[in-house]
Chain A
Amino acid sequence: MTTARQDTTPAVETARAVAVRFEHVTKRFPGVQALSDVSLDVAQGSCHALCGENGAGKSTLGKILAGIYTPDEGRLFVHGRAVNFDSPRDALAAGVGIVHQELVFCGNLSVAENLCLGTLPSRRGFVDRPAMEARARALLAEIGATMDVHRPVADLSIAQRQIVQIASAVGSGARVIVFDEPTSSLSQVDAERLYDLIRRLRERGVTCIYVSHRMPEVFRLCDTVSVLRDGKHVGTHPASELSEGDIVRMMIGRPLAEYFPPPKSTEEGREVLRVQDLTSPGKFQHVSFSLRSREIVGLAGLVGAGRSEIASAIFGLDPDARGEIVLNGEPARIDDPADAIRLGIGLVPEDRKKQGLVLSESCRHNTTLPILERLARLTWVRESAEWQLVREYFKRLGVRARDPDVPAAGLSGGNQQKVVLARWLAANSKVLILDEPTRGVDVGAKAEIHALINELAAQGTAVVLISSELPELLSLSTRILVLREGRLVGEVPGHTATQDGLLRLMAGLAA
C-alpha cells in the first residue's frame, strides 16, 4: 500500500474533517455482489446513518470498516490515512470499533475478563483479579454505565452486552464506532438508553456510524443519511433535508403506495380461542383473554413482560403453565405442540433460525414438517400431494426460492419467514400466533407479510400478533392487550391507541 501512503495529505478541509472515507469499495460473496463501487465520506463527530433494505450492503460496509470483512477492491481511509484491516483487532488499533449482535464474547467468562481480554493485568504470572475488576469498572464508568463485573457475559441481556461492547471499544481508544442494527432486539426502554449513550459518545467527539433501516431512530439520532440499494450507493444527504418517504423511496427504488396496509374489516367473528387464568410461575400470572375469528389481537409489552411466554404456553411448550384454554367453545388439553397443531393452532416463533426452521433442510421439507403425517399413507410420504401443497402456498405467499428443494438456509430473511407462514397455512391453522413476524425482514417483504396477515384475518383466521414495533402493532391490530411484568394491565382498541399511550401502559407510567 505504498501508493496509498502518498495520499495521506489531510483530506479536503470542508466544514468538518472527514473521519472515514470509502473509495470505490467492492465486495463479493459467493453468489452475491454485496457492494459495488461504493464511495462515501463520513464527517468527523457526526452520526451517519447507513440505510437500506436487508441485503442492500449496509451491514457489509460497516463490517468492512470494522475489519470483519476485507474489501475485494477499493480503499479505506480513517482520519485521512489509508488503512488495510485484516481483523477487528487491526481496526481497533486504528481507532474503529463495532457494536453488533453476532460479535462473539467468551460467554463463560465474566464481564471483567471480557473487558480486559488480551491485556489481562497480572502479577507474577497470575491474573490480578482486583486490578482487572477495577479496570473493567473504570471502562464502564467512562461511558456512564455500571454493572456487576463478575457476571458471566452469557447471563447478560442483549442490551447489557452492547454496553460491554461499547465500553470495550471506547476503552481501547475507538474514535469511530459502527453500530450494526443495534436496536433490532432491544425493548423500547433499552433502546432509549442506547440513544442516550450514543448522544454522550458524540459529545465526546466520537464519530458514530449507524446501520439501520428503522426510520424513527435514524431521524432521532443521525445528522447524515447514506442509502444503499443492491450494493450501490444511492445517495448521501443531510437528515434535515429528507423525509421518511424519501429514504424509503431511495431504499426500494420506487414509491411504496402503502407502507402499512389499510385498516381491516371490523366485522365481528365468533369466539375461537379463550384463555382463562393462564399462569406460569415466574413468567406470567392470571392471564385471561378471548380471541374471535377475523380478529387480530396485538400483545404489547416490554421485553420480559411475558408475551412470548404466553404464546409458548398456548402452543403447549410450557409444562409449568396452568389454566384453561378453550377452543371453539370446548376445553382443550394441550400438552405439547403436536396437540396444539392438531387443534388448529400455529405459532410463528420469535427466532426464525433457531425455532422456526431446520436450516439444513429444504424449503419444501420445512413447509410440510408439522403435517407430514397428514400427507402420508401409512408412513409413506405422498410426495405428489406434498409438492402440490408446497407449490400452492409458495405461489400464494410469493416465496422467492429458485427451487423449493434448496436448503432454507439459502433464503433471505423475508422468504424464510414466508416459508414458516406457508407451513401454518398448509396446516390449515385457525388460530395463528405470530411472534415478531417481521423481525429481520426487509421493507418489501414486510409489507407483503402485513398484507397477508390482514388477508388471513379477513378470511376468518384468528391472529395473535406479538411485536416490539409499535407502529406495526397499532396499524394491524383490532385490539391491543398490554402486558407488564407477566400481568395483563390493559386493553386498548387498535384504531384509537397511540404509540405514546401504549408505551406508558407498557412501562407502567401514569398516563
Chain B
Amino acid sequence: MSSLLKRLLAVQETGLLIVLVALAIALTAFAGSHVDPRTGETVNNFWNSYTLIQAATDASFFAIMAIGATMVIISGGIDLSVGSVYALSGVSMALLLRAVGPMNPVATTFVGLGTALGVGLLCGLLNGALVVGLRVHPFIITLGSMWVLRGIAFVATGAMSILVPPSLTRVVKATLGLGGGLYPVPMLAMIVCTVIGTIYLTRTVMGRHIFAFGGNIEASRFAGLALRRIQIGVFVVAGLTAGFAAFLGATFYGSTSSGDAQGYELYVIAAAVVGGASLIGGKGSALGAMLGAILIVLIRQSIRTLHFDQNYEWIVIGCAIVAAVVVDQWSSRVTARRLSRGSVAATKQ
C-alpha cells in the first residue's frame, strides 16, 4: 500500500491531478444548487452530469491538440500554427462535403474524417519540412504558417461560414444511450487520444526518440538517431491532432469558418505546459496535456459557476497558468532532491 502510494506520488501528473480534484471539490462545495423543475430533485450547480460533460467537451478539442503540441514541445520546438491548422482542416472538410453532396452517413464520416486528418497531416508535414529544410527555428516557421494557413482558409471560404452536413453532426453528437442532452463523443475521443498518445510517447521507438531529441540533440546525433525524421514527425503528429480536433469541433458545432480556433494555439501551449511539458524540451506527457487542458477549462468554468465577473476571466487564467508551472517546477525539484537522497542511501548500503 505505502509503496503504491509512493509510486503514485513519484508520477509527474499526480500533483496536477490533486489540484484538479481539489478544485472540483471546492467548486462542488461553493457552487450551490438548484431544484430541477422536471424531476423536482436538488441538483448541485457544478457536480451534475450536464455541466461535467459540457466542461469535458469544451476541454476535449484543445486537449487533443495539446497532445500533439506536447510532442513538439518535448522535442524542444513549438507549434503556433495549430489553431490555423484546425481552421483550415475544418473548412476544407466542410467545403469538400458540400461539393460532394449528400451521401450515406458512414461515407460522410469517412470522407469528413479523412479530409480533416489529411489536411492536418499535410500542414504538419509542411511545418516540419520547412523547419528541417530551411533550418529555421520552429517558432518562426509556425508563426508564418499560422497566418498563411488561416489566410488560405479565409480565401477558400470567402469569409463565409460553411455548414457541416447534419448527418455528420449526428455522429459526433451521438448520445450513446445517455440521453438528456448529453454528448459524450468528444470526451471519449479525448480519452482515446490520451491513451494512444501515452503509448506512442512511452512505448514506441519514435516516442522515445522524441524525448532523446529534445533532451540533447547532440547526444542524439552521436547515437545515430534520424534527427530530421524525428523533427518532421512531431509536427506531423501535431497537425494530425489539430485535424482531428477540427473534425470533432466543426461537426459538433455544425459549421466552420476561417475564424475558428483563433488563439487556440496559446490555450494549447498553456495546456501542455501546465501539464508538465518543458519548453526546453525533453519533458512532458500526453496525460499531462489532457489534465492541463481540463484544468484550464475548470478555471474558466469556476468563474461562471461561482458567479464571478466574467470580465476577469483572462486575468485569472493568466495567473493560474504561471502559478501552475511554478508549482510544478517546485515539486519536481523536491522530487529530484528526494531521488538523489535515495540514491546516496542506496550506495551506502
The verdict on B314 contacting chain A, using a C-beta distance below 8 Å, is no
A31-B344, A341-B224 given as contacts; is B218 within 8 A of A379 (CB)?
no
7 pairs, CB–CB < 8 Å, chain A vs chain B? A340-B224, A369-B208, A370-B223, A372-B208, A380-B203, A406-B343, A410-B340
Indicate if the CB atoms of B211 and A358 lie closer than 8 Å.
yes
Q: In this assembly, does B205 line the interface, its C-beta being within 8 Å of a C-beta of chain A?
A: yes
From residue 402 to 458 of chain A, which have CB atoms closer than 8 A to chain B? 402, 406, 410, 423
| Residue from the list B206, B224, B344 in contact with A32, Cβ < 8 A | B344
* Pairwise interchain contact A338-B225, C-beta atoms closer than 8 A: yes
Q: Is B3 an interface residue (CB 8 A)?
A: no
Minimal Cβ-Cβ distance residue in A for B220: A358
Q: How far is the CA of A336 from the CA of B220 in the complex (A)?
A: 12
Count of A interface residues, CB-CB < 8 Å = 36
Minimum CB–CB distance for A340 against chain B, Å: 7
**Are A360 and B282 closer than 8 Å at their CB atoms?**
yes
4 nearest A-B pairs in the assembled complex, by CB-CB distance: A31-B340, A337-B224, A31-B341, A358-B215
Asked if residues B221 and A402 are in contact (CB atoms below 8 Å), the reply is: no
A202: chain B residues within 8 A (beta carbon):
none
Do A358 and B216 have beta carbons less than 8 Å apart? yes
B: which residues have CB within 8 A of A?
203-206, 208-209, 211-212, 215-216, 218-226, 282-283, 336-337, 339-344, 346-347
Q: How far is the CA of A355 from the CA of B211 in the complex (A)?
A: 15
**Interchain CB contact under 8 A, B205 and A372:** yes
CB–CB B224/A365 < 8 A:
no
B218–A354 CB distance below 8 A: yes
- Residue among B203, B206, B224, B343 with the most chain A CB within 10 A? B224
Q: Which parts of A352-392 form the interface with B (CB within 8 Å)?
A: 354-361, 365, 369-370, 372-373, 376, 379-381, 383
Q: Inside 8 A of A191's CB, which chain B residues have their CB?
A: none
* Docked complex Cα distance between A32 and B342 (Å): 10
Complex CA distance for A357 and B223, rounded to whole angstroms: 9
A90 to B223, CA, bound (A): 44
Tell me the A residues contacting B by CB distance below 8 Å. Answer: 30-32, 315, 317, 336-338, 340-341, 347, 349, 354-361, 365, 369-370, 372-373, 376, 379-381, 383, 400-402, 406, 410, 423
B204, A379: Cβ atoms closer than 8 Å: yes
- Looking at chain B's contact residues, the main secondary structure is helix
**Most chain A beta-carbon neighbours within 10 Å: one of B206, B211, B215, B218:** B215
Q: Using Cβ atoms and an 8 Å threshold, which residues of chain B touch A355?
A: 218-219, 222
| B216 in contact with A359 (CB, 8 Å) | yes
Shortest distance from the beta carbon of A380 to any chain B beta carbon, whole Å: 6
Residues from chain A with Cβ under 8 Å of B206 in the complex: 379
**CB-defined contacts of A317 to chain B, threshold 8 Å:** 221-222
A residues near B283, Cβ cutoff 8 Å: 360
In the bound assembly, the distance between CA atoms of A357 and B339 in angstroms comes to 19
Q: Give bound CA distance, A383 to B203, whole Å.
A: 8
- Please state if A376 and B340 are interface contacts (CB–CB under 8 Å): no
A381 touches B224 (CB 8 A): no
Which residue of chain B has the shortest Cβ distance to A345 in the bound complex? B224
Asked if A361 and B211 make an inter-chain contact with CB atoms under 8 angstroms apart, the answer reads yes
User: Could you tell me if B340 and A381 are in contact, using CB atoms closer than 8 angstroms?
Assistant: no
- Please name the residue on chain A nearest to B283 by beta carbon: A360
Q: Which of A337, A406, A410 meets B222, CB within 8 Å?
A: A337
- A369 near B343: Cβ-Cβ < 8 Å: no
Given known A-B contacts A337-B222, A354-B216, A359-B215, A406 and B209 have beta carbons under 8 A apart: no
**A373 to B230 CA separation, bound complex (whole angstroms):** 14
Nearest-CB distance from B216 to chain A (Å)? Answer: 4
User: Which of A315, A360, A406, A423 touches B215 (beta carbons < 8 Å)?
Assistant: A360
The answer for the CA separation of A370 and B221 in the assembled complex, in Å, is 10
Instruction: From known contacts A372-B208, A410-B340, infer whether A357 and B219 are also in contact, taking CB-CB under 8 Å.
Output: yes
Contact of B337 among A30, A341, A349, A376 (CB under 8 A): A30
**Chain B residue contacts of A380, Cβ below 8 A:** 203-204
Is A338 touching B226 in the complex (CB atoms < 8 A)?
yes
- Is A337 in contact with B223, judged by CB distance below 8 angstroms? yes
In addition to A30-B341, A381-B204, 4 A-B residue pairs with Cβ atoms within 8 Å of each other are A337-B221, A337-B223, A355-B218, A356-B222
> A341 — which chain B residues lie within 8 A by C-beta?
223-224
List B contacts of A347 (CB < 8 A).
222
Q: Tell me the bound Cα distance from A340 to B223 in angstroms.
A: 10
Closest to B226 in A: A338
Question: What A residues does B347 contact at CB under 8 A?
Answer: 400, 402
Give Cα distance in the complex from A423 to B223, angstroms: 9
Given A32-B340, A358-B282, A410-B343, answer yes or no on A365-B222 (Cβ-Cβ < 8 Å): no
- Kindly state the separation between the CA atoms of A338 and B337 in the bound complex, as whole angstroms: 36
Given contacts A358-B216, A379-B204, A380-B204, contact A370 B339 (CB under 8 A): no
The answer to whether B343 and A402 touch across the interface, beta carbons within 8 angstroms, is: yes
Give Cα A354–Cα B221 distance, bound, in whole angstroms: 11
Q: Smallest distance from the beta carbon of B270 to chain A beta carbons, Å? A: 22
Judging by beta carbons under 8 Å apart, are B221 and A381 in contact?
no
Docked-complex contact A379 and B341, CB < 8 angstroms: no
Q: Which residues of B contact A383 (CB under 8 A)?
A: 203
The answer to whether A30 and B225 touch (CB under 8 A), given A360-B215, A379-B206, is no
| Complex Cα gap A1–B130 (Å) | 62
Which residues in B have their C-beta under 8 angstroms from that of A30? 336-337, 340-341
Quote the shortest CB–CB distance from B223 to chain A (angstroms). Answer: 4
B residues in contact with A373, CB < 8 Å: 205
Chain A residues, Cβ within 8 Å of B218: 354-355
Instruction: Kindly list chain A residues whose C-beta atoms are within 8 Å of the C-beta of B209.
Output: 372
Q: Which of the residues B203, B224, B337, B340 comes within 8 Å of A336, measured between beta carbons?
A: B224
Q: Do B204 and A357 have beta carbons less than 8 Å apart?
A: no
- Bound CA–CA A355/B215 (angstroms): 11
Known A-B contacts A402-B347, A406-B339; the reply to A376 vs B216 at CB < 8 A is: no
Contacts A359-B216, A376-B205 given: A369-B223 contact, CB under 8 Å? yes
Chain B residue at minimum C-beta to C-beta distance from A357: B219
